[in-house]
Amino acid sequence: MTPPLSIDAARFLGRLGSLARIGRDAQGRLTRLAASDADRAGRDALAAWMREAGLEVMVDRIGNLIGLWRPGGRDGAPVMMGSHIDTVIDAGAYDGCTGVLAGLAVVETMRAAGREPARPLAVAAFTNEEGVRYAPDMLGSLVAAGGLAVEEALATVGTDGTILGEELARIGYAGPHEPGFLRPHAYVELHVEQGPVLEREGIAIGAVEDLQGISWQEVTIAGAANHAGTTPMAMRRDAGVAAAQVVTWLRERARAGNGRSVATVGRLRLEPDAINVIPARAVFTVDLRDPDAARLSALEADFAARLAAVARAEQVTATVRRLARFDPVAFDPGIVRAIEAAAGARGLSTRRMTSGAGHDAQMMARICPAAMIFVPSIGGISHNPRERTADADLVAGANVLLDVVVRLSGADPASPSAGAGA
């Protein structure tokens, strides 16, 4: 049996550090919004590294940047790795960049070792994954997966009034290829967890088997403002009390499930917001997530029923505005098993898990077998300059990605016909 390959850790970590220096402001804050000048600089660095690694660099019309390795000019559906290099405002160094640079390291490692795969390998950096400048998030992968027409996507107006298509052209990343021109054989994305589970459980590798569905709603409860001193409890129509009942119920309902549902009320405001006036209005957001479509729908239905019951009991009215809705995604069981097997073979602890955040992998899962590898986020912190993953965990994740891609691409001499699927 061929000895296992390993990526060049110093080069991988060095590039991660280099990329994290691109897009710093005068205060040292990292902000590399999609299709900005900082994004151009990041893309330029990535493209240069891809070319150094011997990849063909290709850009599609929505700006997705792809490095392709066709060993011996081989055609066919590639095994694709990737993620994104755009960031939130005042971001950390790991979100997205880890997956892109690990993919590049995988290709370099296989090339250097002469382990030619049976199919092409691709490394993708998708446009506007964060969704900070242009909505929706995961826009580049969504378009590549056929979920949004490219013309519509290019016409997107940003929070700063810019048009995405114009900005992509301006920075030189409005490419000639039709989005989706490469339909992958399989897609694997390495990403930092952005949550606390792996670190708390002391586990090195998460084999991500599914991704939560998300339901975002804004609830407005309307009661009646009245004097806090002169209005007896029995005569009140207190919008704040009604909202509080919904918040406490929601937490119990999410807890009572099988541990997979999460429910969060992150925003809440009262009107008129005076110490001695009974709240006339409460406006709050409800973020519901579950990896199972039926369970998410049941959670939504139970919430709607409870809200109506509280409104009746408290003599208030409740209106709901839907802000967003994404169905859950189930990743490919065969790739998930391959991730577990690769981690196990390297002596790394592993667990199956659910992604609580959205990722490009969920869009690619629409068109090919896909899964994700998670590595621990220290303190669960993300979208924050304090975002961090230990170097050893980053390298371990990249090596698991390597092993899985070796297997999926038919470069593994021990199992030449291995591929995606159960």
CA 322 to CA 327: how far, in whole Å?
A: 14
Q: How far is the CB of 351 from a second copy (least distance, A)?
A: 13
**CA-based nearest residue to 310, from 396, 258, 250, 399:** 250
Nearer to a second copy, 140 or 240 (CB): 240
CB 79 within 8 A of CB 110: no
Structure tokens at 33: 């919004």
Q: How far is the CB of 369 from a second copy (least distance, A)?
A: 23
Q: Terminal CA-to-CA distance of the chain, rounded, Å?
A: 24
Q: Interacting stretch for a second copy, rule CB under 8 A, among 50-58, 62-70, 81-89, 242-250?
A: 242-250
Helix axis angle for 391-408 and 97-112, nearest 10°, is 60
Q: How far is the CB of 160 from a second copy (least distance, A)?
A: 20
Q: Does the footprint of a second copy cover residue 193 (CB under 8 A)?
A: yes
Q: Does the footprint of a second copy cover residue 279 (CB under 8 A)?
A: yes
169-173-178-181 Cα dihedral, nearest 10 degrees: 180
Nearer to a second copy, 61 or 359 (CB): 359
Q: Interacting stretch for a second copy, rule CB under 8 A, among 107-115, 259-267, 301-309, 408-416?
A: 259-267
Answer for which of 261, 362, 399, 409 binds a second copy (CB under 8 A) is: 261
Q: What are the backbone angles phi and psi of residue 115, rounded to the nearest 5°? A: -95, 80
Q: How far is CA 416 from CA 16, 137, 408, 409, 411, in A?
A: 32, 37, 9, 9, 7
CB 280 within 8 A of CB 231: no
In the region spanning residues 214 to 233, those forming contacts with a second copy, defined by CB under 8 A, are 214, 216, 226-233
* Cβ neighbours for 396, distance < 8 A, ≥ 6 positions apart: 204, 205, 346, 348, 375
CA 11 to CA 18: how far, in whole Å?
A: 10
Answer for which of 53, 77, 163, 268 binds a second copy (CB under 8 A) is: 268
Answer for which of 2, 159, 248, 319 binds a second copy (CB under 8 A) is: 248
Nearer to a second copy, 108 or 314 (CB): 314
Q: Does the footprint of a second copy cover residue 278 (CB under 8 A)?
A: yes
Q: Interacting stretch for a second copy, rule CB under 8 A, among 77-85, 137-145, 211-219, 328-336?
A: 211-219
State the residue for tokens 């390495």.
190
Structure tokens at 284: 């709050």
Nearer to a second copy, 80 or 88 (CB): 88
In the region spanning residues 354 to 383, those forming contacts with a second copy, defined by CB under 8 A, are 355-358, 380, 382-383
In the region spanning residues 69 to 88, those forming contacts with a second copy, defined by CB under 8 A, are none
Cα dihedral sign for 160, 164, 169, 175? positive
Nearer to a second copy, 163 or 228 (CB): 228
Answer for which of 129, 189, 238, 300 binds a second copy (CB under 8 A) is: 238
Nearer to a second copy, 50 or 208 (CB): 208
CB 128 within 8 A of CB 83: no
Answer for which of 45, 113, 265, 378 binds a second copy (CB under 8 A) is: 265
Nearer to a second copy, 127 or 382 (CB): 382
320 DSSP β-pair partners: 219
Answer for which of 11, 183, 251, 295 binds a second copy (CB under 8 A) is: 251
* Cβ neighbours for 224, distance < 8 A, ≥ 6 positions apart: 236, 237, 278, 280
Q: Does the footprint of a second copy cover residue 274 (CB under 8 A)?
A: yes
Nearer to a second copy, 178 or 273 (CB): 273
* Interface residues toward a second copy, by CB under 8 A: 193-197, 200, 212, 214, 216, 226-235, 238, 240-241, 243-245, 247-248, 251, 254-255, 259, 261-270, 273-279, 285, 287, 289, 323, 355-358, 380, 382-383
